[in-house]
Amino acid sequence: MAELTYREAVAAGIAQEMRRDPSLVMLGEDVAAAGGVFKTTVGLLDEFGPDRVRDTPISEQAILGAAMGASMTGVPVIAEIMFSDFLAVCWDMIANEIAKSRYMTDGQVSFPLVIRTANGGAARFGAQHSQSVENWAMMIPGLKVVAPSTPADTVALMAAAVRDPDPVIFFEHKSLFATKGEVPEVEVVGRLGEASIVREGSDATVAALALMVPRALEAADRLQQEEGISVEVIDVRSLVPLDTKTLLASVEKTSRLFTVEENPRLCGWGAELISIVGEEAFWNLDGPLVRITTPHIPLPAAASLEDLAIPSVDRIYETVKSSLR
């Protein structure tokens, strides 16, 4: 075991896979010489050289086009889109080209590619650099979507994403980059589509993702200590494929579901989980299905406002407590 930061885990995961597969390449803005604006690709240029680790112009459509065309002709690719907000400037490449071309061609082409991007708020970057857009990706058929919350999961899911023959959108959370955790020193390979029960409990299920996972855990601890409420916390990890088994089994046990999501309220991944449970586990439920979300607003820049916008430990705590009362 080694202790790595989440940002180091990104580089470690990529490096592990680039060592394994000499055909794997990487591209993006400032990813090579500078090691990425979030320092998540430090060392890769030196180890793998400028043919495999490429700095690009500010041309997100060309970046993803390069990734798509290369992957469909035998060269697997990791592409970085610096901030997930910028997925919007290349959304056609993602939603209409990469996601749909396999189906449109009845399986003639595959896209072994990973689109990595820094997602999420709490860094005071304002409305155009702070969004959580995992729901944008989840709603597009043909994509796979993951968002790790720990360094170990980052390495494991990076490996799984790279080895998966389908396009994977890989959301790295900016406000987790500095967090630390143990990562095995052997080869680490996770599986897409597996949620993780990060805390067991019996009174309510709380499903969370990325930065919301540690917050949900902290709220759960407090609920236990202060209110005697036993909360099961699920780290969803993979939105597509979605581990509905773990989710439904947990709700069967607890009879209550709360989701904690950073994306704005309407049509978020929380709504999807709620809808699945509201249809398939309706008769197990003992009370309302509750979403805890960022309000349906752009994110403000000021620290005091941003802290009010994104679900906090307090808000999770209060919502679960008052709803279970």
Partner 1 sequence: MYDYSSRPSRLPLPVDERMASADIDLGQRKSIYRSLQELRQFEKRAHDLFLQNLVKGTTHLSLGMEAVAAGFGAAMRPDDYTFATYRGHAHALARGMEMGPAMAELLGRSNGVLGGKGGSMHLTDVSRGMMGSYAIIGAHLCIANGAAWSAQMRGSGQVTVCFFGDGTTNIGAFHEALNMAKVWQLPVVFVCENNLYMEYTPIDLITAVPHPAADRAASYGLESVIVDGNDPDAVYLAAGKAIGRAREGGGPALIEATTYRTGGHSRADPAKYRPLEEVEAWAQRDPIPMYHARLLGLGVAEGELSSIERDVAADVDAATEFAKAGEEPTGEALLTEVYADGSSRWRN
Under rule CB under 8 A, which residues in 59-78 are in contact with partner 1?
A: 59-62, 64-75, 77
Residue 285 binds to its own copies (criterion: CB under 8 A): yes
Shortest distance (Å) from residue 230 CB to partner 1:
26
Q: Under the criterion CB under 8 A, does residue 280 sit at the interface with its own copies?
A: yes
Integer CA distances (angstroms), 324 to 20, 220, 286, 288, in order:
49, 13, 10, 9
Q: What is the DSSP string of 168-205?
A: EEEEEEGGGTT-EEEE-SS-----TT--EEEE--SSEE
CA distance 148 to 155: 9
Q: Smaller CB distance to ligand TPP: residue 128 or 202?
A: 128
59 in contact with its own copies (CB under 8 A): no
State phi, psi for 79 to the nearest 5 degrees. -110, 140
Q: Which of 62, 89, 123, 301 touches ligand TPP (CB under 6 A)?
A: 89
Task: Determine whether 60 is an active site residue.
Answer: yes
Kindly tell me which residue out of 103, 165, 200, 202 binds its own copies, with binding defined by CB under 8 A: 103
Do 63 and 114 form a contact (C-beta atoms < 8 A)?
Answer: no
Residue 86's nearest CA partner among 46, 104, 53, 59 is 59
**Using CB distances below 5 to 8 A depending on partner kind, what does residue 269 bind out of ligand TPP, partner 1, its own copies, none?**
its own copies
Does 60 bind ligand TPP (CB under 6 A)? Our answer is yes
Cα dihedral 278, 282, 286, 288, rounded to 10, equals 20
Least Cα distance to 120 among 262, 10, 6 occurs for 262
Catalytic residue among 8, 29, 129, 172: 129
- Tell me if residue 129 is catalytic: yes
Q: What is d(CA 17, CA 184) in angstroms, rounded to the nearest whole number?
A: 15
Helix axes 212-222, 313-324, angle to 10 degrees: 50
Cα 226 to Cα 220: distance, rounded to the nearest angstrom: 10
β-bridge partners, 116:
80, 170
Number of residues that bind ligand TPP (CB under 6 A): 6
210: number of CA atoms within 13 Å, CB side? 27
Of positions 8, 17, 80, 97, contacts partner 1 by CB under 8 A = 97
Figure out which of the listed residues 7, 116, 129, 174 binds partner 1, where binding follows CB under 8 A. Answer: 129
The active-site residue out of 17, 29, 60, 261 is 60
Q: Which residues inside 227-246 make contact with its own copies, applying CB under 8 A? A: 240
Nearer to partner 1, 178 or 302 (CB): 302
**Other residues' Cβ atoms within 10 Å of the Cβ of residue 130:** 28
CB of 198 to partner 1, least distance (A): 19
Part of the chain binding ligand TPP (CB under 6 A), chosen from 81-89, 165-173, 249-257, 280-288: 81-89
Binding site for its own copies (CB under 8 A): 85-86, 88-89, 91-92, 94-96, 99-100, 103-104, 126-128, 135-136, 138-142, 240, 263-264, 266-272, 274-275, 278-280, 282-283, 285, 287-291, 295-298, 300-301
Residues with a catalytic annotation lie at 60, 129
